[in-house]
Amino acid sequence: MVMELPLLLILTVWVNARGVQSALPPNCSYPPSQWCSSLDSAAQCGVLKQCLERDFIRSRQTAEPVEVALYYESLCPGCRLFLVEMLFPSWILASGIMSVALVPYGNAEEKVVGHKYVYQCQHGEQECLGNTIEACVMNMTGPAAFPIIFCMESAADVIKAAESCVGVYSNVSWSSIMSCVKGDLGMQLMHQNALMTAALKPPHEYVPWVTINGEHTDDLQKQAMSNLLGLVCNKYKGTKPDTCVMGQHSQHFRSYCHNN
Ligand SMILES: *[C@@H]1O[C@H](CO)[C@@H](O)[C@H](O)[C@H]1NC(C)=O
Ligand SMILES: *[C@@H]1O[C@H](CO)[C@@H](O)[C@H](O)[C@H]1NC(C)=O
Ligand SMILES: *[C@@H]1O[C@H](CO)[C@@H](O)[C@H](O)[C@H]1NC(C)=O
């Protein structure tokens, strides 16, 4: 599924995730002209919302958003790092010009046993459980899905965090998520992810594996891992929002889980 930006929800998640509670007095060490110059300065100076809204309005989606798809698995450390530190923040900053599709499956294997699909995951059964919870969350929680998955992947224990992440960011009951996970729907969703992953051209060699508008090359992957926002801004054909000139910390996430 493709996720659009629910701005207020995201802001809440982001601010909570950074531990910057709005009740605390801002600790702002930047002059006003630099408040909107980076995510850190905006958060520190308590103007994140204003900076993002300004950009959101200015961008006005003058072209199709750039489609970023992430093929990953729930417990692969490199996937977690990329999702939490790069994909989610870029999605916030690139509001309106970037859509995200998440495909939790990665290097899992599918077998048919009787009338069922069964899965073996690279990091064991817990990872299959995490993948299926995330697939069900995407099917059932609408625009809250990405914040919920971000919340899970940034927690110390992805699986243990799931219930409270769902509770904080949606009103979908945990028991209905779990009946998806344990039932035919969860199996169907995982099978769809298996098919989508198997259909990748070129086939994935590792995860996190990124496609941009459906395309994967070594160069796109490298750019996505070091400066996704820059890449998206570059690919966007419409009027570029101000966030495109904001400095995103250039980071290099090169931790991969390989597919044998
Ligand atoms: C403000 O932030 C700086 C560095 O980010 C820190 O050293 C300082 O202790 C903080 N001050 C308060 C009052 O939180
Ligand atoms: C949820 O999954 C079912 C079964 O694959 C599908 O028919 C339905 O459209 C999905 N809903 C969403 C919101 O993705
Ligand atoms: C969640 O709450 C909203 C109103 O805030 C309501 O429209 C929606 O139907 C609820 N969803 C579920 C799954 O209960």
Residue 57 contacts residue 226 (beta carbons within 8 Å): no
Tell me which residue has its CA closest to atom 6 in ligand 2.
Answer: 139
Closest CA to 82 of 189, 259, 223: 223
Q: How far is CA 237 from CA 58, 59, 98, 101, 191, in A?
A: 15, 11, 11, 20, 34
pLDDT at 89: 87
Which ligand 2 atom minimizes the distance to the CA of 188?
A: 5
Which ligand 2 atom minimizes the distance to the CA of 140?
A: 13
Domain architecture of the chain: domains with CATH: 7-258 (3.40.30.10)
Kindly report, residue by residue over 144-157, the tens digit of the pLDDT: 899 999 999 999 99
Q: Cα of 118 to ligand 2 centre, how many Å?
A: 20
pLDDT under 50 in the chain at which residues? 1, 4-25
Looking at all shown ligands, the one closest to residue 30's CA atom is: 1
Query: Is ligand 3 within 6 A of the CB of residue 177?
Result: no
> Which pTM does this prediction carry?
0.76
Tell me which residue has its CA closest to atom 2 in ligand 3.
Answer: 171
Tell me which residue has its CA closest to atom 10 in ligand 2.
Answer: 139
Kindly report, residue by residue over 188-216, the tens digit of the pLDDT: 999 999 999 999 999 999 999 999 999 99
Query: Is ligand 3 within 6 A of the CB of residue 140?
Result: no
Report which residue type is found at 13: V
